[in-house]
Amino acid sequence: MNDQLVEYKAKAFEVRNLIFYFLVALMMTACASGTPIPRQLAALPAGQTVAQHTPIILRIEGRTEDKNGQLLLHKDIYFTDPAGDATSVIHKLFATVPAGIYIPGFDDVRITASAGEQIIKGLVTSSVGCPVVLYPLLLTIETRICDASGNLSEPVVVDFVCPANPPNSIPALIFELILWLGLLTGFWLSFRKHPALGKSAMLSMLLLFCSWIVQGFLGSVLHEGGHALATLIEGGKVWSFYVHPFTFTGFVRPVVDTAWRFASAYMISILVSLMVFILLWKRRSVSNLPFVLLLPWGAIIQGFQMLTLGGDAYNIMRITGLPAVIFIFLGLVLVCSGIFFLLSLFPLLGLAPEDGRSLLVIPAVFSLQSIFGMLVAYLFVPGSPVDIRYAEGGGIIASAKNVAIFLPILGVLFAVIYITLFRKLSPKLPAWLRAETVQLAWKDLRLPALLAAVSVILGVVIIT
């Protein structure tokens, strides 16, 4: 509303005119004495402009959607904005049940309704994807509409109720059962007449299993340590440093949504493991195998994440806008180089490239790792601090379940490549890239087994 300024000229009033105006004023005051006084409007938020331009939330309707197995909770917000310039929905977490659960900040939702629709009745939808949780989760969120001038609607509190939806581990268990029926049949057919070969295969399995536990713990420390270091450099505090040697996810909390924070995990993990690899490669042996494995396995896992544009790679792309081709190229380089150096270390397990036992030993170890990880997840994660404070228990068990299918398949793939392509390539490699096949003895397992036991104990302490 525009106010017009009017200039009045001074006039000489006669006495009768003054009396007349005075009587009229008295009459109007008497007539208005019974009229209620308008309420004073509440003070507008800081920076808010004229109240008539403020958006108004009319009503909110809820609905649900099942999308690729995930439950989505939608809140359709109907609103009106006299100026037709509402821009976004702003969310603020008000409470959770169970209380005290850490939930990262919610993103604002951009309003796409036209100005004409907003003036009459606009519509915008806020959505929450329910995480995999072991118990019901209630999120109470304060919702406001914001316009281009910074005006905010009155807050409306909405509830998002996620039911308990623990992960279904039956497919993973069925897969592991079928795999082990095949492996046990293969072991029986291969070694029933040659017990000495069976003992050698058992030593290879134990050595690789123990070495993998150790490198898994160190790799988790390096990757999550990169996240933690970036958080500390940016002036934040690390609430939870969740690292372990098991086949489920680790993480650092709180989440700091910066590109440097996500990239630092790749940088620290690859650079430190590369330094260790360079120092130990020429002196690689059974005793230092867990440390030499750091680079190949880290390159494979993190390179695969880049290739699929998932995890930290996705967040870096989201924040920086970098093209996907950069991550696909880097991922391909890391995966290929990691597989090559990993296969180059297999002779230290007592497995020659032409040894068909690799088709049994390597998948068996990868499967044992995943079964061990699932067992630890089911025994120690539900009700643990990370489950109670961050509601991550369901997601952790789900990651262990997924790895139980992915990891054995990867083991079969590596074994096939080792006895086919690498077998043909190995004789052509320079001497510094080739490793002699080792004849293992029980004493060779002492140090890897001790380090593996320490890693498991530390991991259980951390996750509980």
**Gap between the Cα atoms of 126 and 145, Å rounded:** 11
Model confidence at 295, pLDDT cuts 50, 70, 90, reads very high
pTM for the full predicted model:
0.81
Does the structure show a pLDDT above 80 at 20? no
Which has the minimum average pLDDT: 52-56, 381-385, 421-425? 52-56
CA 266, distance to chain mean position in Å, is: 15
pLDDT in tens, 431-453: 888 888 999 999 999 999 999 99
**CB 294, CB 341: distance < 8 Å:** no
Mean pLDDT of 380-403: 93
**CB 330, CB 305: distance < 8 Å:** no
Please state, for a pLDDT cut of 90, what percent of the chain lies above it: 73
Summary mean pLDDT of the chain: 87
**Bridge partners, 140 (sequence order):** 95, 159
Does the structure show a pLDDT above 60 at 77? yes
**Gap between the Cα atoms of 246 and 400, Å rounded:** 8
**CB 351, CB 435: distance < 8 Å:** no
Does the structure show a pLDDT above 50 at 80? yes
| Token pair listed for 355 | 């040894």
Mean pLDDT of 69-95: 93
pLDDT in tens, 403-422: 999 999 999 999 999 999 99
Q: Amino acid identity of 105?
A: G
Does the structure show a pLDDT above 70 at 3? no
**Model pLDDT, residue 70:** 85
Model confidence at 459, pLDDT cuts 50, 70, 90, reads very high
| Token pair listed for 391 | 């509601």
Helices (H), 33-86: none
Mean pLDDT of 28-51: 42
Does the structure show a pLDDT above 90 at 396? yes
Model confidence at 105, pLDDT cuts 50, 70, 90, reads confident
3-state secondary structure of 94: strand
φ/ψ region of 181 (left if φ > 0, alpha if ψ in -120 to 50, else beta) reads alpha
3-state SS of 145-159 is EEECCCCECCCEEEE
pLDDT in tens, 189-238: 988 888 888 899 999 999 999 999 999 999 999 999 999 999 998 888 89
Residue spans per domain, the chain: 51-162, 170-463
Does the structure show a pLDDT above 80 at 52? no
Does the structure show a pLDDT above 80 at 122? yes
3-state secondary structure of 360: helix
Model confidence at 45, pLDDT cuts 50, 70, 90, reads low
Does the structure show a pLDDT above 70 at 301? yes
Model confidence at 9, pLDDT cuts 50, 70, 90, reads very low
The CATH topology of domain 51-162 is Immunoglobulin-like (2.60.40)
Phi, psi of 70 (to 5 degrees): -105, 135
Mean pLDDT of 170-175: 93
pLDDT in tens, 256-292: 889 999 999 999 999 999 999 999 999 999 999 999 9
Mutual orientation of helices 324-344 and 311-320 as an angle, nearest 10°?
A: 150
**Gap between the Cα atoms of 181 and 236, Å rounded:** 50
